[in-house]
Chains A and B, each alone.
Chain A
Amino acid sequence: MALSASNLKAGDTYTECLVEDLSRTQIVMYAGASGDYNPVHSDEKFTKEVAGYPSVFAHGMLTMGMTGRMLTNYVGDGRLTKYGVRFTSQVWPGDSLNSTATVVDVTDGIVNLNVETTNQDGAVVLSGYAAARVD
């Protein structure tokens, strides 16, 4: 379902819960599908003893992928023209994430959005932007 430009105004928001209590298995699923088998995402021994982190952590691209699900649920399938993010904090097993898109403006059939994903402590883990075609 695509958005209609006439129903959008700057400041409108759309929020989704991306995940509650992120499991290590979900991270492993992402490794398998994406092909990114960096052991810091699945190998606790390596991550603690060699990489120096307290546990394995999620791929940034898993957070971007789940945030993309929020976006496509909002703007509709096949409507995105741009989507970009910065990864601002790591995401750990057990984290719960919420993601919000905020309308910046609507011009020439394109809605520009700010995108932000936060964890259960309110820390921003991903911040970025998207643009999508609207009707």
Chain B
Amino acid sequence: MAVEKFPVEGSHIMMFARSIADDNQIYYDADYAKTTEAGGVIAPPTFAQSSAQFDPTYFLRPKIGEDWFGSGKEASSIKKKESSGGGGGGGGLHAEQHFEYHRHIGPGDVLTAEVKPGKTWEKEGKRSGKLVFSETITEYRDQNGELAITARGVGVRTERPVDQ
């Protein structure tokens, strides 16, 4: 997921804070935020993940005019061989996520996200068969080219859905 322009905006921060049920007014009220140590609205710690909104090719967002693998009349609009093949159906599962904050971002920042592939490894899982892990490192830089956040994500594809 490479993103050339991720403008951090107050209304997006507000919606994101609602979505994680966080009523901390530093995410909603710029006047209040000015009185805090942060000195203004900042983004919640996991907000950088929503850079997906600004990735033109992000595969977990339906694209206008393209088939989507979720249900309509049928359980999936894309034929079996592409959408099956293990738990998660389409995107695998998220195994790990790590953030390192070099500074905290807020409205007015315009970030880029550069993605670098990391390690891949395999493991035999008791509840889901063979597991294939893959790591990506994402560097979020601000409008001055300064590193703001380093993120490391690990995804896993399972051989079959995880037993419950």
Q: What is A's interface to B at a CB cutoff of 8 Å?
A: 2, 18-19, 26, 29-30, 32-40, 43, 45-54, 59-62, 64-66, 68-69, 71-73, 76-78, 80-87, 90
Contacts and interface: CB of A to CB of B under 8 A. Distances in A.
A53 B161 contact: yes
A60 B87 CA distance: 14
B37 A76 contact: yes
Contacts of A76: 37
Measured as residues with beta carbon below 8 angstroms from the partner, the interface class of chain B is 35 or more
User: Which applies to chain B's interface (DSSP): helix, strand, loop or mixed?
Assistant: loop
Interface string B65-103: 000011100011000000110011111011111111100
Nearest to A48: B75
Nearest to B161: A52
Contacts of A18: 21
Interface-centre pick from A34, A49, A73 (highest chain B CB count, 10 A) = A34
Given A2-B37, A19-B21, A77-B38, A36 B71 contact: no
B91 A32 contact: no
B53 interface: yes
